[in-house]
Amino acid sequence: MYNWQQQRDKKAFLALADGTVYPAYSFGAPVDRLGEVVFNTGTPGYEEIATDPSYAGQIVTLTAPEIGNTGFNAPDFESARIHAEGLIVHHYTEPSNWRSERSLADALISAGVPGLAGIDTRALTMQLRNKGTPKGYLCASGTITPEEGVRRAQAWEGLDGQDYAFKVSTAKPYVFDPQDTLSVTWGIADEPLPDAEIPIVAYDFGIKFNILRRLRQQGMRVTVVPAKTPASEVLALKPAGVFLSNGPADPAALGYAIENIRALLGKVPLMGICLGHQLLGWAFGGRTCRLKFGHHGCNHPVQELASGKVEITSQNHNFMVDMDSLDKRLVEVTHINLNDNTVEGMRHRQEPVFSVQYHPEAAPGPHDSRYLFSQFKKLILSA
């Protein structure tokens, strides 16, 4: 498939705003993209990562040395399309797997998303860890110089203050999986699905398919609504609970969502994850701030403070809730990250509301945190 001359010449490149340029060769669409450059330490799961709406606006560096063996397969998607602005890998491989439907390269080309290979991803990851998350320009078209790529990266507005959740949200409400054909893995159920007797509403700030599956597996009938749906319209649906989903970019830019969440507090049980967790932090009267290089991977240790239990979690976020901004009389911190002591979970002391920063749906990642969906069900039934 590849021209060895192209691989030797490395005419594609990644340019960072600090002036660093990484030569590469292209294996995706021959287009250029701007984005924040992040790294993900997960060994498996590049399909889920590429299709996770939380990666909108980001160029993802995969630290696993070889990417592509599994191919690109519809049952593994976390949304209807690729949302990452681009993928960066050390070595791209053609698929060699019984489940493979098409190659990652073909999927990127079809989606108009660039991919770069031949980069020293170890050196790039160390730079991101040491210097923080940079703005980057990924050039796969071969039409501009590295110097111009650096200038474009420097001039890009970045993700701070930007509402990407609205960009990736559904355009209209829908009921998830009314025929119960999507709520099992590869068409095989671990056990029969319970009746969908608990009506809930899920705000789509960038929701993942596996979150919806986990909710359905708890016996919930999930109506998914757009990010800007007013709280009054949500309450008119008479839900037993409301779920606040994951999503991309800066929570501080979603003033409408914060106001809607405040209007729901005390009226219905709430659960939030990732961006939903951060939005709850704002609704509780707190604030969020940036992490140096974010949490992206499947191996982040999180401790539940009440029991001391440690979970290995899947994470994908660049912002965090500022622990010092929370009113401890109203909000209890329930989980912390053991790598950097950041807030990973919280609950309201007076209302049936809790949230976690990580991704308990585990796509990709370990299943240690799957219990949180049953915890949401118990909260609803006891309300």
* Catalytic residue ranges: 274, 359, 361
Residue corresponding to tokens 């893995």: 185
Sign of torsion over alpha carbons 261, 227, 213, 298: negative
For residue 174, the cross-strand partners are 224
Among 322, 373, 381, 323, which residue's Cα sits nearest to residue 352? 381
Calculated CA dihedral for residues 108, 61, 208, 306, nearest 10 degrees: 170
Instruction: Please give the structure tokens belonging to residue 353.
Output: 């509301």
SS3 content of the chain, % helix, strand, coil (to 5): 25, 30, 45
Among 215, 227, 170, 247, which residue's Cα sits nearest to residue 360? 215
Give phi and psi for 56, each to the nearest 5: -60, 135
Enumerate residues 6+ apart whose C-beta is below 8 A from 20.
127
